[in-house]
Structures are given as C-alpha cells and as structure tokens.
Structure 1
Amino acid sequence: MNSTIPTIASDTSAAEILRIGIETASGPVSLACSFSMEDVAIIDIAHQAGLNLGVFALDTGRLNEETYEVADALVERYRLKIDWYFPRHDDVENLERADGLFSFRESLDKRHQCCAIRKVEPLSRALKGLSGWVTGMRREQAVTRGDLPPVEVDELNGGLLKINPLLAWTEEQLLAYTEEQRLPRNRLYSQGYRSIGCAPCTRAVKPGEDARAGRWWWENPENKECGLHRR
C-alpha cells in the first residue's frame, strides 16, 4: 500500500475522494457498512462510478431488525456480496455470564469492553488483507469528528488507508441524495433516529440535538465512539 496521503481539495466530490483513496491504497479496499444512510449512499456512489469496493459488516448480536432489512435490500438491489463478521462467541458468553446483559451502562470502561468484544476485535479480522477501508463518517455528526480528513493513515490498524468520502456532507445533502436515488433506508430514521448502532445503545434524538446524541446517551459527547474510529 502507498501510505502517502494525497492532497485533496475541499470541494472534491465524494465519488472523487473515493476514487483517489482506492487508487492510493493500491490494493483491496472495503466499506465498513453499518447500513446507515451514509453507508448506503457510498455503496450507490461506488456502484455508479464503477469502483471496485468491497463491503463488510459487523454483526454485534445486538442489531435492530430494521438494520437487517436494509442489508437484505442492498443485496437484492446491487447483487451485493457482504462479508459478515461476528464477535467470538466465547468472549460474549464470558462477558454476559460475568457482568450481565447491560454492563455497558455501568461505566465507560465496561462500555468500551463490550464494544471491544462486539466491534473492535471483529473489525481487526475484517481488515486483514486489506490495503484500505472506507467509512461513512461526517464532520457534522459529532464533536469527535469535527476535524475529519478525507483520507488518512490508520496507524491503529496497521497503517491502512482510511477513506472518509462523505466527511463534508450535511445531513440535508445526505437526505436529498438518498431520496433522489430512492435508496433503501432504515425504518428507524422515520421514528426520530439519526444514528443507528446496537439496539440497547441507540435511541431517537430530541429536536436540536446532534446526530449522535442518541448513541450512548448516558455518556458525555466527547466519549461517544465505540473504538472503531479512535484517532
């Protein structure tokens, strides 16, 4: 992989960021797909641009039924191959036997422990053999993402190239794109959700709250990352 970060202008389109990132990676690149509107838009952009982009998903064991419905719709629409990764069952069993089903609400450390088992460890397996990975992160989503670059070297995952094609998109742009292209959309968005993760850790947001206010709502905003995107 070529780890030299390309210079990308601020007005570069999402499709062009994606193309530059894939070319710079010089090897296999996959989207980490949570079946959010962002990830669905990226799949559509890559499809329309004819880009060679793989797709993988992390099934934490706590996803909403509505999330699986979107995955099924994408497979049907794009004849998409999704590589699914799951937590190691013995780690989940040991966690729940020792600490119960909702230990992640007791402290930040315990929430990080749950995310490490259900997300971070499976991600490490999903990234093996890749030269780069793509995320649907946007700068306006949360304070933890305000300085997000279009392309970066992910030192925490072995120096892979990390590509964030939608970093500058607003929620209005995202909604307009998904409606214009008639893309599959998680039914929870119509119930006030603006960011969707594991069912016990996600809820609808109140008017005026940021997009990720419904994620781990008992925690401070600066802590609201699961460990997949530590920087």
Structure 2
Amino acid sequence: MEQLELKALNGRYAKPDEVISYAVENLGVSKIALASSLSIEDQVLTHMLLQVDPGARIFVIDTGRHFQKTYDLMEQTMLRYKFNYEVYAPESKDIEELVSRLGPNFFYESVELRKKCCDIRKVKPLKRVLSTVDGWICGLRREQSPTRQDMEIFEWDEGNSIYKINPIVHWSEEEVWAYIKANDIPYSHLYSTGFRSIGCQPCTRAVQPGQDVRSGRWWWEDPDKKECGLHLGGHAPA
C-alpha cells in the first residue's frame, strides 16, 4: 500500500471483513497485528481476523492495572479461538521510579501526570510492538469520542510511520453488539454492569444510561482531550 492510495482505498472498501482481508494480503500476516484491549470492538475484530488467518498476530498491552475480568476474558478468548496473545508490559524501572517518587495514585492529580502514566504503561510498550510491523489494526469507532470523529478506515500513522487500519470505524455501538450476539463472541461482563468502555481499573467506571460511550474513562477530564496517547498520530490524506 502506497500512502497515496489511502484515499482510494477508503472509497473502495467498507465491509470490515474485506478491509481485513485486503490488509493481510497486502501487508503480510507477520507484518500486521491487531491491538486488542479486550473491548467489544476488539473482540469483533479478533473473531474476524482469525477467520482470515488463524495464525494472525494479536497483542495486548498489560498495563498491570487491568480489571481481573479483563484477564479472565483473555483466557476465555484464547481457549475459544485456540491462539495465544502477544503480551507487552511496561518497563519495571519506569514504574518503580515514578510510583516511588509520586505515589500509586499520582495520575489523578493532573492531566499531565495521567498522560505520563499512560505513556509509561501503554505508549512505550506499544511502540515496541509497532516497531515489528508495517501496519496495525484497531477497533476505533467515530462515535466513541469527539477526538475520533475524523478517523478513516485506512490511515497513515504519522507518529509510528506505519499504516493504521480501523475496519469498524463507521459502525455504531448497536452494530457491534449485534455482531457479537450473532457470532456468540465472548465479551467482558463488565458491560452488563454499566461499563461501556473498559481500560485500566483506576481510570474506568460505569456510566449512567444515555451518557457518552467513553464518559467513564478519565471522567475528571475534558472530554475533548481524553486520549491516552495511543491514537493521536493517525490521519488519512485529504
């Protein structure tokens, strides 16, 4: 895929399974990976990708602060689809230094410190795995957040200098749930208790009916700025 082809690709492919097949065929299985947070979106993409190639690379960033139900779902998904996740974790020395200096809950004190925590626990491990691929698949959807409304299916990730593919970027939450139910895909039961977006346990809470999908993530911050740093570098040519 040449970067100049992205606009044409976004006009040509819309069905997620076709998007995934195109990406795998053109980037190669070992040079593309799905980033999974075990969200409903990533569970849908795990199901789709493993149907295209049972040996596909799927990775999880283990921040060390996930809900136990997230780890339980990892195991359930591995048993269901008979594969193993690639797991990436933060550097222990980074965690040790920061928590020793600022305490275990420093990320509540300011946006700057919260982003520092995300950088150590998420962004740095992500960069390690992305250095091994030419493209990554993500479960981002436009309706999730004001910061995601301009995203396209095929993008160039400027920050990581690789391709970024968002196969269900145009899907609604209802479409995601319909696909999960139709294909009996395992999902976190936290969704049954009011959660609509699940990240690290200290930074995620259940939401009230009618609230924004990601309103339970970093709920103390401005919704127009609520990103952890994983998805700030992608764009598609105009």
TM-score range for the pair, normalised by the shorter chain length: over 0.9
1:107 to 98, 105, 110: 110
Q: Distance in 2 between matches of 1:184 and 1:220?
A: 32
3-state SS of paired residue (2:155): strand
Output the amino acid matched with 2:47. D
Q: Distance in 1 between matches of 2:116 and 2:176?
A: 32
Structure 1 residues 117 and 56, CA gap change in structure 2 (3 angstroms)? same
Q: CA deviation at 1:207?
A: 1.6
Output the amino acid matched with 2:128. R
1:81 to 84, 98, 106: 84
RMSD of equivalent CA atoms = 1.6
2:159 to 131, 145, 156: 156
Q: Deviations over 1:46-73 (max 9, x none)?
A: 2233476310110000000000111101
Q: Deviations over 1:80-108 (max 9, x none)?
A: 12110000001001111111111111111
Identity of aligned residues (%): 41
1:167 is matched with 169
Aligned length: 230
Q: Distance in 2 between matches of 1:228 and 1:201?
A: 16
**Contact 2:55–2:83 at 8 Å: present in 1 too?**
no
State the TM-score, normalizing by the size of structure 2: 0.92
Q: Deviations over 1:13-40 (max 9, x none)?
A: 1111222233343561001110111111
**Contact 2:27–2:134 at 8 Å: present in 1 too?**
yes
State the TM-score, normalizing by the size of structure 1: 0.94
1:132 is matched with 135
**Contact 1:3–1:160 at 8 Å: present in 2 too?**
no
Structure 1 residues 124 and 56, CA gap change in structure 2 (3 angstroms)? same
Q: Distance in 2 between matches of 1:75 and 1:187?
A: 17
User: What 5-or-longer segments of structure 2 have no aligned partner?
Assistant: 234-238
3-state SS of paired residue (2:197): coil
Q: Distance in 2 between matches of 1:46 and 1:25?
A: 14
Output the amino acid matched with 1:85. Y
Q: Determine if the alignment matches structure 1 residue 146 to structure 2 residue 149.
A: yes
- Residue range with higher mean Cα deviation, 52-61 or 167-176: 52-61
**Contact 1:21–1:161 at 8 Å: present in 2 too?**
no
